[in-house]
Amino acid sequence: MMDNFEKHIRENKDFFNDKKADKNKMWDAISKELDTVESKKVIPLWKSTGFKIAASIIIILGLLTIAGPILLHPNNAGIETSYANKEVLDIEFHYKNLVEHQVKLVQEHPALSKEDKKEFLSFMQDLDDEYDELKIEMKKNLDNERILEALIGNYKKRIELIENLLKQINSSKKINEDYGYTL
Amino acid sequence: METIVQNTHKELVEKSKLGDRNSQYKLYELYVDAMYSISMRMVGIKEDAEDVVQDSFIDAFKKINSFKYESSFGAWLKRIVINKSINHLKVKRIALTPIEDHEYHLKDETPEPIEKIDLIKVKLGIEKLPQGYKQIICLYLIEGYDHNEIGEILEISTSTSKSQYHRAKKKLIEIIKGL
């Protein structure tokens, strides 16, 4: 339990804080030391708000560089510059060559009638139309894997169609030849 | 009023945490004289007290992110200054607890209580106290720590803190009466 002597001193403790520091001299030393510490300190950039903003701007600019030409000029040849579009173009180039080669084979095949060729080519036209629609969708949404799969599926369907047709031609030819041989 | 002060300080503390030198200076300006007075009472030499206060502010700003408002910023800073002052005395091998020699001169009976307490005489009396007594009187009477806290600061038991404080107080009253 405190007596009056103790209480009186505690109640007037500010009276004892009467010393005046040499503020400027001490602050110079303190700020100098803090500057040294800060220059040595590794600043975790990801914790800084400024860095977060800068990173966001860079990401947005990056996305605009990739998607910008497509969004601004959907029919522009500039699309070809984007990575995603390049992927589509590579796929397209690969399958287009395959299909063109096989369509040529069908067209030049002597065993097929004009009507058969016409019917086959109209099937191919339908698949071409479907492919063009998918390409438009793809431009709207480059990241859509389902559309990309559908594009590949479209080409696979054409190749399959051609392969089946050529197989049919060859097998009927073989049957005819067999017949001929038997006869 | 106290809430306004706390909020102002909180804003300064938060900005200081972000490394804002201007806010750090404002905090420094608010507390430097009080901290210097504390250190002067503890170490007694101007140059030593300045070194202690400088180091304390540097440490405080370096570790300010660990300050979680469990106490006031002033109390947190004061504890740093007190600890630094004690460490300084330890390095200089100055006894932190009363030396037996001084007890030899103490009268056994409790001194008559002072009727009119003259704060100027109290201040002079504290300055005249031997180092070991001065620490414990300052920590208890002026800094307002209890004996558990003093035990932690001086690394002594609570009962030792209590008994040594009573001896120091007797000595102080004796000195004041002689002034």
Domains and CATH numbers, chain B: 2-91 (1.10.1740.10), 100-178 (1.10.10.10)
The position carrying tokens 């806010």 is B23
Nearest CA in chain A to B119: A9
- pLDDT confidence of residue A77: 46
Mean local confidence (pLDDT), A15-30: 91
Q: Is the pLDDT of residue B179 over 50?
A: yes
> Average model confidence (pLDDT) for chain B?
85
Residue A9 contacts B, CB cutoff 8 Å: yes
Q: Is the pLDDT of residue A141 over 80?
A: no
Residue B123 contacts A, CB cutoff 8 Å: yes
- pLDDT confidence of residue A53: 64
Q: What is the 3-state secondary structure (H, E, C) of chain A?
A: CCCHHHHHHHHCHHHHCCCCCCHHHHHHHHHHHHHHHHHHCCCCHHHCHHHHHHHHHHHHHHHHHHHHHHHHCCCCHHHHHCHHHHHHHHHHHHHHHHHHHHHHHHHCCCCCCHHHHHHHHHHHHHHHHHHHHHHHHHHHCCCCHHHHHHHHHHHHHHHHHHHHHHHHHHHHHHHHHHHHHHC
Residue B25 contacts A, CB cutoff 8 Å: yes
With beta carbons under 8 A apart, name residues in chain B contacting A5.
113-114, 117, 169, 173
Nearest to B13 by CA among B28, B35, B34, B3: B28
Of B56 and A180, the structure prediction assigns the larger pLDDT to B56
Nearest CA in chain A to B57: A30
Mean local confidence (pLDDT), A35-45: 65
pLDDT in tens, A156-169: 787 777 777 777 76
With beta carbons under 8 A apart, name residues in chain B contacting A6.
141, 169
Instruction: Measure CB to CB from residue A6 to each of B38, B61, B141 and give the nearest one.
Output: B141
Report CB contact under 8 Å: A33, B58. Answer: yes
Count other Cβ atoms within 10 Å, centred on residue B148: 11
Of B115 and B48, the structure prediction assigns the larger pLDDT to B48
- pLDDT confidence of residue B38: 94
Q: Is the pLDDT of residue A38 over 60?
A: yes
- pLDDT confidence of residue A175: 46
Of B149 and B1, the structure prediction assigns the larger pLDDT to B149
Q: Within 13 Å, how many C-alpha atoms sit on residue B134's CB side?
A: 21
Residue B18 contacts A, CB cutoff 8 Å: no
pLDDT in tens, A92-138: 777 777 777 777 777 777 777 777 777 778 877 888 888 888 777 77
